[in-house]
Structure 1
Amino acid sequence: MILAIDTATKWTGLALYDGRTLLAETGWHSTNTHTVELAPSVDELLRRTGIQATDLAAVAVAIGPGSYTGLRIGLGFAKGLALANQTRLIGVPTLDIVAASQTYSEGQLVAIAEAGRSRVCAGLYQWRGKKGWQSQEPPIIDSWQNLLDSLDGPVIFAGEINPAAAKLIRAAGKSFQIANAMNSARRAGYLAEIGWQRLRRGWVDDPATLAPIYLRNPAETSA
């Protein structure tokens, strides 16, 4: 059994997965209250499914990019849970979770996460057959306009795309597309599945050294 925790941005997600079945999944738009919401939400998820924390084989957690506060809270909670129950810890980049929900399309995929202050975290992915979408380069943080100016179509955008950003994408006229809203949601079920695959391969992390991915000075990052 694996518990997935994603507090990388205001969009928060939790899931329980046993390698065959997604037993539970929940997601909501938090109003900067991860500290208050996270522990009770995990307790409720475990209670509803009849799972004990000691039943967990691993905890998978989104490690960024994202907001400084959200990442710190989620990773700290995941580390504490893993250490307290002597279970394994698996860190997964936030944008890999977005990419995992996308089916094949021609061209490139740009996975998006909120960064605040009219900026976004963006990662470029290429389809690699059975491996699916694979990251091509380290993620960046920039304004929407600079990001769009740097790309040529065909490109599909997925992730946290607000109405103003969607308008910019459609106006760019470069064979850009936007994934539908359901596919754009960063679902914790995909985080759990990625975590399970890594667990099977023995790709686990040391709680003492696993660190979040920050793309700028934490003092400049809004939650």
Structure 2
Amino acid sequence: MLLAIDTATRTASVALYDATGILSEHSWRSNNRHTVETAPAIAAMLSQLGVGPEALRGVAVTTGPGSFTGLRIGMSIAKGLCLALGIPILGVPSLDVTAYAAGDPGGPVLAVLEAGRGRICVARYHFVDGLPVQEGEVALVRASEWTPTFDALTLVAGEVNAALAERLLNLPDAERVAISSLAGSVRRAGYLAELAWERLEAGESDDLDSLAPVYLHQPTSGS
């Protein structure tokens, strides 16, 4: 069984997964309470399934970009469990999870996540064999100033709030924009688990000592 921990943004999510699929999943608006809420949420899922941490074969965790505090807490919990249980850790970029959750629309995907203080992280993806492949670098921009251009019908997926959606739909080439639903924008650790499961089954893992969060800006209090 694989535990997945996604604390990249104010919406936290944890999931338990095995070869049959998602066994349990919990997503909630944590804001900056990852420290006190994430570990109890994991314990509650394990208890509900009637198993203990020793049932885990690995832990998947989002590596960023995202909230400094959230990423640090998620990584700390994941590493602590892997060290204590002697199991592998698997890091997955946060925006890979966003793009994968959107599914393959047959064209480009712009994956978006909140970065705090009115900023968003954005990366462009295309799909190969059902998996997202990032194109270029991740951009950190102010949501109120983001004016992308679209050369093809593009799905904008992830944490796209109503104000950002309205801006995008009023751009000159808005006819080439599709936006994921509000429900579809909720971060779900089940998608993280699904991406990591194939790696776990193939015997892959990341180095426990060197795996670290990826930040796009200097961490500040409350970010």
Same-fold call, TM > 0.5?
yes
Q: What is the letter of the counterpart of residue 203 of structure 2?
A: G
Q: What TM-score does the superposition give when structure 1 sets the normalisation length?
A: 0.93
Question: Cα offset for 1:150?
Answer: 4.9
Q: What is the letter of the counterpart of residue 31 of structure 1?
A: N
Q: Any gaps of 5 or more consecutive residues in structure 2?
A: none
Question: Cα offset for 1:19?
Answer: 1.9
Q: Deviations over 1:133-165 (max 9, x none)?
A: 211123121123554235444211111111111
Q: Which residue of 2 aligns with 1:137?
A: 136
Q: Which residue of 2 aligns with 1:211?
A: 212
Whether contact under 8 Å (1:19, 1:193) holds in the other structure is no
* 164 and 65 in structure 1: CA distance in 2 versus 1, 3 angstrom threshold: same
Q: Deviations over 1:47-100 (max 9, x none)?
A: 001121111110000111001011001101110011011111111111111111
4+ long deviations beyond 4 Å = none
Q: Which residue of 2 aligns with 1:8?
A: 8
- Within-5 A mapping of 1:119-158: 119-128=119-128, 130-158=129-157
Q: Deviations over 1:154-199 (max 9, x none)?
A: 2111111111111111111321110123332221101111111111
CA distance in 2, matches of 1:146, 1:44: 41
Q: Which residue of 1 aligns with 2:115?
A: 115
Q: What is the letter of the counterpart of residue 78 of structure 2?
A: A
Q: Any gaps of 5 or more consecutive residues in structure 1?
A: none
SS at 1:180 equivalent: coil
Q: Which residue of 1 aligns with 2:171?
A: 172
CA distance in 1, matches of 2:148, 2:190: 33
Question: Cα offset for 1:104?
Answer: 2.6
CA distance in 1, matches of 2:185, 2:121: 14
Identity of aligned residues (%): 40
Question: Cα offset for 1:10?
Answer: 0.4
CA distance in 2, matches of 1:16, 1:124: 28
Question: Cα offset for 1:39?
Answer: 1.2
